[in-house]
Structure 1
Amino acid sequence: MKKLSILGLFILALISFNSCETEDDVVFTTQEPEGFVFTNSTLDNYVLAAATSSNLGERFTWVSADFGAPTNVTYELQSSVSGDFTDATVVSSTTSNEIAMTIGQMMSVAMEAGLDADPDSPEPNTGSFSVRLRAYPGDTGSGTEAFSNVMVLNVELLESTGTGGGGIMPASWGVVGSGYNDWGGAGPDGQFYTTSTADVFVAYVTLIDGEIKFRENNEWVNDFGDDGADGTLDAGGANIAVTAGTYKITLDIAAGTYMMEDFSWGVVGSGYNDWGGAGPDGKFYYDYTTDTFKVGIRLVDGEIKFRQNNEWVTDFGDTGLDGTLDGGGDNIPVSAGHYQITLNFNDNTYSIESTDVWGVVGSGYNDWGGAGPDFALTQIQPDVYYGDIATLVDGEVKFRANNDWASDYGDTGADGTIDAGGDNIAVTAGLYRVRLDVANGTYQLNKIQ
């Protein structure tokens, strides 16, 4: 079986139909929409790894189904363990001409088919399942639907090892530069993490305009740049120009290459930012110990969804409100409060839990709460809270929980140690990466620009 670290998936071909089905007491008639053809990869053997579960597995594109009258068409990607689709499960749905799936979603289907990545488990780690596409006009089909041919996919689940989520551990490599940490003068390098492939590492970082390189152990003994700006690693090579944004960086030491791609997950909706009209989405941070993405956030009464890169290309809701992520699914109702939201692409689930959300407050940020909510920090490991990038002005700040003065920390002595109810912390205008370690009683305000 050919092994792949990034999936191509689900080959679906020209639609042909020869049956009818009953749904909600409506008898649907099959129809063959002219020109309804899928375009994607031609692979039929796939290796799935938990370490890359949040990666985009595949985008499926097709020519619109034509049911004979101008109308919107809904498309459902369905999976089946039995192969006859009596157990059909909707993997994702959309009204556009593409469906995106993460590797974690694909692993979830494989595990439903009885596969297991645990080497000590009696369950197999190789097997197969079936997929097809359903199309129908409008929101209900009005008695008309269409199905593609069935495709059988052969898959293998990679063994999970190590102590992190899916065997993931911090690597010795990091991101350094004016685009990240003022060449090491403003805190540690951006962390890379191990993957299921030896000598391939991944980092999730927010950059500013500037330049970066990759170096080992936060020192200038072993580093890579890119002399030709061609994606090739060069030992001691030229700085790499970057623009502000949130990225996933893949560093392949064995192949001598690297790749940077726009990559972020966020909370969007009337329950947070007026569906994007009142600022950027609530940013998720990566937690390698659980291989999940988390955000500490203040919500208001309303609805939310989760989307990638602050745009409506890849988004998840929850059709059925069962804690399962559904591509393009229904909005999720929320009540006002402070929460930690976790996205788990390994099993295609999410959780919204009421919790204390620590934030930055002060004349140096939001006029002590009079000019908007505090800058929220996310608990990325137990009692360790992180946030970037905070835009501060000349003034003073403190840390408090839940936008309230019931619990707060300052720094009496200006020694980097948090003190309950302590003195205000003086700051100067600039961009900061913020870290609050409640367990060890310390904090960092790393000014990167």
Structure 2
Amino acid sequence: MPGTPDLPSSSEIGDTALSDGLARMLESARWHGVEMDADEAAAWLCAMQAPDLHQLTHDDQSGVFGARAALLDFDAGDLAEWRLIGELVRLPDGPTVRTALALSGSAAQSRIQRYPGDRDFMQRVHIQAPTREDACTVLGQLMREKALRCSSGPGYRFARLKFGEAPENLRVRGQPVRAGRPLEWTLDDVRAGVLLAQSESGETRHVRWEDAACAPGWCKLDWVLLDAARREVLWASNVLDPTWETPDGQIVTLDGQLEPMYQEIYLDPESAPLVEHLARQLDDDALSAYVGMMEEEVEKYLGAPPNYGKAARRLYNLFRCTGRFDEAAYLRELFDEPTTALYKVWAGLGVLSERATQLDTARTRETLGALMLTTRRALPDDTGSALLRELQSLHDAITDSISAEHHHTLLAVRASALAIVNAYFYTRLSAVPAIQAFLGVTAGQEVHSA
């Protein structure tokens, strides 16, 4: 496994690095107030010409590893904190279980995405067992034991997990779940080992944990982190990629898809043999499948209601995997601007809207105070004055407990925060003709809030 990649020096880049495409990106950035360092962008473009961009590469200094292109976006500055959270969310290894925990999402791209709203992890869980049913049973036991063992503690509360697929169209806690979609379990559900639901005709259904294990589907565990130092409340999640190794050595996915390895940053060097073993199972169409997945994600986040920030993140991954490096170089600069810190506000309000009834009033008010400070720093001019007033009003209104009216206000303020971020990303995405054409948007299109 090769060593970590470094951006080339200016003497190595030469005069040809400033392509016409990059020059246009720099001009668009200048007109829209985006700080884009020409030398750094040219260095990144030069590094992206390497033929082994998707080869697993090891960073000897930090101990992490991942695809060469992904490591160019990773900042190890907060690695100790990430590893600490990783100990909370990870499933353990065992006699027949090997795992590899990785940072995903904006956590993996910390050099360019300075303001992650959540703490996102993914974990490869590789199980050796005589049969698929045995492997699914082991996976279910690991998830259930993890939720029960880490239900609460200093600075965290277990929130929910996704496990199993709905056997028919159901309603769970009043919400519709289509057949084949993931089932969501609360801690009480996990303890009971049974999920209560209603059929379309209103009949009661009991989905047993053991039955859900037969078709695990998309598996994910969520916790709420209570960060006292930063006065934040945020999600920590672990999305699982479970695989089964048959007695004759075949690799079978338990959720229907072996995840590609183009973005995540693996935290433990000792897990490298497992990741390399799984990487050899990816076929020649893996990159095409990943590109297709990113295209679907972009389309989803451009829909109603849109989230242009999430669309921009998927566009960046899409462009850097399809050789559209000039556009990718422009996009990677957008996530470092102060306005994008409002994603932390949006994400924090999302946690409060779901979990405020489980937090004491002091914690809720403290969190709102921290979100006001983030807003003030992100928008020092009058741009954020209306949002600040909404946050202040909500903060002052919560004195005893969270009422239905408070919950409605939380959602409204959250929409206001996202509207500002949407406007920021939409303006800058549509400013570049190549990106505008790709998105199929036109200048002046109305920006909707979520």
Q: TM-score range by the shorter chain?
A: under 0.3
More helix by share: 2
More strand by share: 1
What is the TM-score with the length of structure 2 in the denominator? Answer: 0.24
